[in-house]
Structure 1
């Protein structure tokens, strides 16, 4: 315990941080050297045991290593700040001295924890869980295909199984069912590994995919043979396992990958080509059959919708339409989806004619499924929607595209009507996106992400080989330098996303080019100075997630640019003048190393979204003198506050505002001479984080309409904040959908006031002691150690479906009423049983609904809690009936 004692001595010496700063810093450096030595020893031991014996670290070891890495990064910041002591007002010796003493304590504790007296390794190896899968379509055919494959897996004489069939026939769907059945039969196979190979696969990608699946770390290993050896040793230790290689396009050497031979290893591959199965020496080759006529019709009807009743004449034509799909599930689904809610027999006859005559006329697109998919593409309701769909082909295969990112690309490209309100265009973008999902041209993979089926992406790429002219080389492991030969003169859009390109050379002549995606490339050797000189039509330039240090001056001449994306370019130090970029709508400079905003910001009269925040507190971007353009709707700032901006009148249209680490801000909206325009009437999302001196949202009385559109409010780690807002303001927030208050250590009440009736006439209320928030869906209170009160009034929130309350031990009352809500609410409430029993409730039904989500001592209440909740619910219902 000598380390703890050593830390305590320095804690006692904190009376004069400034005087002891230099001495304490040297102690901290010594402690850090010893900690890093221990870190190196732990990593070496982990690596050796992982390769030789397949052992994995315990969770506490992984967390310890993460904490060491974190404090190492903080140490770099401290040393940099020490060089600025006395030169910058943010680097005072007292403040830095306090931080150094604190870090000495933390390092001492980490050194103590790093002993790991009970060992470093976990007993269990990682294993993939059940995969989400869709229902098998075509019961008889699907089950026959499934059982053939299962029988082959159970055959000890069969090591490699090939599953082939045309695109869209359902190979991957069958394999997900097989994968989940294998997991349920864990006594047969010890572990199951799934890797999506894809068309542009290579040995390295396949090796890394398998490594991720088994938890083997060699992300920094550049040598193929060394990776192969590590994989071979790790896999050889498994008694019996299955590797599923989905969507193979060519022969791959299993030996080079590192997959051992022998019956202990079963390999199942799926492919569109029987020749691939033969080249891989598959001992069993299974063809996935198409659906029978009856199965196809049942699937088609199901995708039309259960509520759709077809007239006899339409049904007859619909069956002919189904037959044109040749029993291919993907084709049936897309065609049926495009015909939903169509009941005019003439429209059906036309659709049948189009489908019969559908000729792809696309180079290389001779698969039977492509005419069917092309039919669905042609029936997208407008040229704008078709253009938005094709744009998705610019992303790598199987790439998960964020909804918001995709819509911003569309807007910047002008694919969405370029007139009217910015937010209306965002809404229209979501409408287009949802429409593409509805007709199965895009697939929803998460709440805020979509992905393209690889076959549909192939169709889109095929279409864009001519007009519009796309060059798509995304995610295919291009290395080194690329030059003008990769940039055709007639190209409309070009994507080199997710490669290993280090340099862009020459001066390509691309007069029509409107989108250039270069994100997720090193670009460590930067870009030639004249590279953008002949790209005068460029609207979207994405260089995010690269290692560029500066931008070439030629960027300054891109006068038609609408979006300049430089986020996560952590080495970027300088951006040339943007004065000529008057059409720029979106500028993202977040998480870069720039210290000052570029010259010419005042000229960006069409700017709508500005991101200048950083997750690294060393990278402070000065924007206090920024003059915001009229009409800006999204502002993401760091070390800045609204009161420091020269003119607030332009914030009338601001819809999203995110401010983090602003040390000077006390009020979001302070009293000013121009206070009549400080009410943020259009704000929809407001997020404030790490603001040490924040006292509240508003100083003084607000005008009517203040925050009237606010939907999302989050306040995090504002350490002197005692309350978020007044009741007067709170009762105006009729659009509020989410409120989250986290880590505000001095907060005693969320909503201030309300001891007497304060609800104004004209607002939704049942009586003077209630506030109705009809749209509130999510309510989070986390780590508020001094919180005693949420609100003096009862908050009626009939739409609430998520509630989280954790780390609020002094909270005495939960004044929420869920109205007539049923059991659709979910959430998490942590606290002691004594705390829960002492809570006061205005609505007993709310307590009953929330009881199942109570965690006492870290455990969810479970069945006993649920049973108790049901009993209390019955008591409440009985009392209500008696009343």
Structure 2
């Protein structure tokens, strides 16, 4: 009975199914029309999605994986539906357009009904799936700039981003110092933050710009494949940019530039923008810009506010006469921002009204307000020279002028600058440490005077191009002696350098050897300084055909980074030389004739694979102060025995030189280390490389170093050592404490520490010999290929640490693990973690990074967390560099959303 009831209840269901199938042959036309109607709706929805994705690309969007799958399914169902429709049309080619084949009608109608259901399901799914998500922030870099908004920014930005009328090439022009570069940096930062374009490129052009320079800058900026072929570089750049939306920002363009030859896709559609700045409206015409925008000088209110901010309101209001003269000065400066900044800073601490009155008279003579009418730069230079004249003494002024020996818009390494000043005799201190300190103080004074600018790299400074032009104008006796200093770089397109009677200094940086021919027009020149660096010279100096013997008066010679294979004996004939830099070449030995350089004070040979040195010849250089023989970074010396023979005799020789102040040297055995500690030889740059790794141990401090008071170690590299022990014996520690000195004497001035291929690192932890007291000034640590190191917790409290790089350590699993009791990483700006396959965690969540700007993580596939949470992001964080596949696979959507604006992908 129950079975009968169940059977009866199934009858309606069975009947409906049967009726559905029986109806198929007679509803074929209806089902086909319904399918076609649904397909039209799906196709329209698909076009809408594609339009949304296209527009999203301009908002730095990327299609989601779900929507990509949906689009593929749409294409598949469309193809099936077209097949069904075509088959039906073929069946209907008979009388009255009705197919008499019932079985064929049945199958076609059934397939049409089923596919119509699939189409309607896709339509419903398509409405719910997000079409796009946000990529990691655009490939761009935020640039340091004083303010974020300005009237000019409000005018320029819509020209780039406006949807109604987009100008593809925009030219921004105006006189030098008016603020074009400042505006372009503001545009860069706003584009970076808004994320409208996939790529934002800021390229500095300058007078000596070339297509090659722009290509190399783009390739280096985005880590693209390098090539010596211009065609290959062009293809690489084009393939990188072509599928992306981009903005190219060209700063300080002086002549026409063929963008197509560089590899820039033609900016003739939405999403491809080129913005250039130039001093000349003619350049805008040559570049065929779609829109020109002139940057004018500041109005009175803006000019007064800027000037008052540089002088200080307290100084201006300290005396009614000063206020009157300040107003007069601002009027004379004509609203030129660079002049307002430099002159304002020069008057910052001037409280005598007579000085202000004198300043007004000097600035009136410059007639700056006429510069735009005359087109001459000299009035601007005369105004800027006011700041130069206000520097404290002639020595500082000379230091400033020598900054112009570097190429335009090129960063200047602070150490290179200070060492040049030392070589020129502009810094003459008995202590080398004091000389470097004085040099860095000079740099700070020039920055304070707004004559040098900071960069995003703490180790570098740069000159504003107009300030540099002013400097060269001063050097040339206000334009009357153009060849007094000859300063050119590789892209100057001038291969011949004619040395005139008045030529005193030559700077040819970043040239190729076959581009330069020096031609003196007399036997003995007045030339005292010759800088020819990073120029890919031939194997030795004579092959250059440089008339080196004509430079008898030469005192400063810099030929670093030129692949030079031999120290030429011709150099040894220039007896007036006091400074020679042949760093980063391929020199293996020094000639015995080097002893003829009796006036030599500074000899920099770091980065050369030097195996032999004539120590007797070195002894003849009685006024030698600095000798840097630090080895190349990745060089392994093949002739250890030769090295063993000369190091000890060299140390003994240097101890007998009365002026000697700093040595850079590599030691490869304990005997040399012991001997070094017994001698009065101040070591500034020390590399310790053991030839046999197993069983080697170096201890700091040890019984040897307790008495090693003369050492003032600045940089230490430890390579191929089994155990590095910074703890030492209890007796050694107690000896230090009893002297009132809990830091190691040779490490208390240490700023750079590089540890490579070291098994175990022992560092004191807590108490009187805690890391912060042991390394009080340590700024940069690199730990690489240390196969037994599991954690480096000792780095976290170093008070001055700014850069930390850990790479190629296979078993390190944690950077820091202990509980916190003091502030962590107070100054750390850069953290790089590379090739750490076992790294699971960087630190506990209580660690903070108050100064962190850049985090780079590469090949750390097991890393499970960032060193900070989505709730706390370091306040100064700019960039997180990661691998794209790791970023997409590893992290939750919430964390990705919080950090997206900081993320950059490593290519």
Please state which band the TM-score falls in when normalised by the shorter chain. Answer: 0.5 to 0.7
| Matched residue SS, 1:553 | coil
Q: Is 1:490–1:510's contact at 8 Å kept on the other side of the alignment?
A: no
Q: Is 1:556–1:576's contact at 8 Å kept on the other side of the alignment?
A: no
| Matched residue SS, 1:719 | strand
Q: What corresponds to 1:476 in structure 2?
A: 491
Q: What corresponds to 2:437 in structure 1?
A: 427
Q: What corresponds to 1:220 in structure 2?
A: 228
Is 1:455 matched up with 2:470?
no
Q: How far apart, in 1, do the equivalents of 2:443 and 2:752 lie?
A: 27
Is 1:615 matched up with 2:624?
no
Q: What corresponds to 2:499 in structure 1?
A: 487
Of 542, 547, 556, which aligns to 1:531? 547
**Is the alpha carbon distance of 1:590 and 1:824 closer, same or farther for their aligned partners in structure 2, counting shifts above 3 Å?**
closer
Q: What corresponds to 2:334 in structure 1?
A: 326
Q: How far apart, in 2, do the equivalents of 1:730 and 1:556 lie?
A: 46
Deviation at 1:406, TM superposition (A): 0.7
Of 565, 578, 591, which aligns to 1:562? 578
Q: What corresponds to 1:499 in structure 2?
A: 511
| Matched residue SS, 1:163 | strand
What is the 5 A alignment of 1:612-691?
Answer: 612=629, 613-619=631-637, 645-646=651-652, 649-650=655-656, 658-660=664-666, 662-665=667-670, 668-669=673-674, 677-678=678-679, 688-689=688-689
CA deviations over 1:319-355 (Å, ceiling 9, x no partner): 2212222111111111111112222212222222222
**Is the alpha carbon distance of 1:664 and 1:269 closer, same or farther for their aligned partners in structure 2, counting shifts above 3 Å?**
same
Q: How far apart, in 2, do the equivalents of 1:243 and 1:770 lie?
A: 46
TM-score, normalized by length of structure 1? 0.67
Q: How far apart, in 1, do the equivalents of 2:503 and 2:175 lie?
A: 31
Deviation at 1:457, TM superposition (A): 1.1
| Matched residue SS, 2:489 | coil
CA deviations over 1:645-674 (Å, ceiling 9, x no partner): 4457459987655544x433357235x9xx
CA deviations over 1:140-179 (Å, ceiling 9, x no partner): 644554456457x645463322111111111111112222
Q: How far apart, in 1, do the equivalents of 2:781 and 2:535 lie?
A: 38
| Matched residue SS, 1:579 | helix
Of 233, 247, 250, which aligns to 1:245? 250
**Is the alpha carbon distance of 1:666 and 1:433 closer, same or farther for their aligned partners in structure 2, counting shifts above 3 Å?**
same
Deviation at 1:398, TM superposition (A): 1.5
Q: How far apart, in 2, do the equivalents of 1:282 and 1:441 lie?
A: 33
What is the 5 A alignment of 1:166-185?
Answer: 166-185=175-194
Of 582, 599, 606, which aligns to 1:583? 599
Q: Which runs of 5+ in 2 are unaligned?
A: 1-133, 874-907
Q: Is 2:624–2:660's contact at 8 Å kept on the other side of the alignment?
A: no
| Matched residue SS, 1:725 | coil
Deviation at 1:487, TM superposition (A): 1.7
Q: How far apart, in 2, do the equivalents of 1:232 and 1:804 lie?
A: 35
**Is the alpha carbon distance of 1:180 and 1:704 closer, same or farther for their aligned partners in structure 2, counting shifts above 3 Å?**
closer
**Is the alpha carbon distance of 1:505 and 1:454 closer, same or farther for their aligned partners in structure 2, counting shifts above 3 Å?**
closer
Q: What corresponds to 1:92 in structure 2?
A: none
Q: What corresponds to 1:443 in structure 2?
A: 453
| Matched residue SS, 1:179 | helix
Q: Is 2:423–2:601's contact at 8 Å kept on the other side of the alignment?
A: yes
**Is the alpha carbon distance of 1:589 and 1:422 closer, same or farther for their aligned partners in structure 2, counting shifts above 3 Å?**
closer
Deviation at 1:541, TM superposition (A): 0.9
Q: Is 1:556–1:578's contact at 8 Å kept on the other side of the alignment?
A: yes
Of 162, 167, 174, which aligns to 1:165? 174
CA deviations over 1:701-751 (Å, ceiling 9, x no partner): 666673685666664542244555342466435545658574575547435
The number of residues matched between the two structures is 693
| Matched residue SS, 1:455 | helix
Q: How far apart, in 2, do the equivalents of 1:132 and 1:620 lie?
A: 45
Once the two structures are overlaid, the 10-residue window that deviates more, 573-582 or 378-387, is: 573-582
Q: Is 2:140–2:200's contact at 8 Å kept on the other side of the alignment?
A: no
Is 1:600 matched up with 2:608?
no
Q: What corresponds to 1:299 in structure 2?
A: 306
CA deviations over 1:358-394 (Å, ceiling 9, x no partner): 4799999635532221221222222211211111111
Q: How far apart, in 2, do the equivalents of 1:852 and 1:516 lie?
A: 40
Deviation at 1:249, TM superposition (A): 1.2
RMSD: 4.8
| Matched residue SS, 1:496 | strand
Q: How far apart, in 2, do the equivalents of 1:282 and 1:623 lie?
A: 66
**Is the alpha carbon distance of 1:175 and 1:540 closer, same or farther for their aligned partners in structure 2, counting shifts above 3 Å?**
same
Is 1:282 matched up with 2:293?
no
Q: Is 1:717–1:745's contact at 8 Å kept on the other side of the alignment?
A: yes
Of 209, 214, 237, which aligns to 1:201? 209
Q: What corresponds to 1:635 in structure 2?
A: none
Is 1:392 matched up with 2:403?
yes
Q: What corresponds to 1:375 in structure 2?
A: 386
**Is the alpha carbon distance of 1:769 and 1:339 closer, same or farther for their aligned partners in structure 2, counting shifts above 3 Å?**
closer
Q: How far apart, in 2, do the equivalents of 1:376 and 1:849 lie?
A: 42
Of 560, 585, 589, which aligns to 1:544? 560
TM-score, normalized by length of structure 2? 0.65
| Matched residue SS, 1:486 | strand
**Is the alpha carbon distance of 1:293 and 1:218 closer, same or farther for their aligned partners in structure 2, counting shifts above 3 Å?**
same
Q: What corresponds to 1:863 in structure 2?
A: 869
Q: What corresponds to 1:87 in structure 2?
A: none
Q: Is 1:246–1:270's contact at 8 Å kept on the other side of the alignment?
A: yes
Deviation at 1:469, TM superposition (A): 1.6
Q: How far apart, in 2, do the equivalents of 1:781 and 1:204 lie?
A: 33
